[in-house]
Amino acid sequence: MSGHHYTTAEFALQQKVEFFSNLLFQLEEARLTHICQVVFLFCEYENIGYLVLRYLNTGALPFEEFSEDWLSDGEA
């Protein structure tokens, strides 16, 4: 990913998605389901709910570039 420069908005969005994803994961591990639901509703309100879920499921942050090394055989 060398040479890629994020705009201020891209960097801020990535930080928000990563923070809320990690928070949701920690709340779920602590079995605080009501608080987890409230935090996710806040993410939906801020229009990042889909990005947070995608990060939780795949680990992919928004605007993340994929290296050819990461692709499986036949995907390049």
Task: Give the model confidence (pLDDT) of 32-55 as tens digits.
Answer: 999 999 999 999 999 999 989 888
- State residue 56's pLDDT score: 87
Joined tokens for residue 4:
């890629």
Task: Give the model confidence (pLDDT) of 8-29 as tens digits.
Answer: 888 899 999 999 999 999 999 9
Sorted by where each begins, the domain ranges of the chain are: 15-59
d(CA 71, CA 76): 6
d(CA 17, CA 53): 9
Residue the block writes with tokens 């996710």? 40
Confidence bin at 76 (pLDDT 50/70/90): very low
Contact between residue 56 and residue 24 where contact means Cβ atoms under 8 Å apart: yes
Is this structure's pTM higher than 0.95?
no
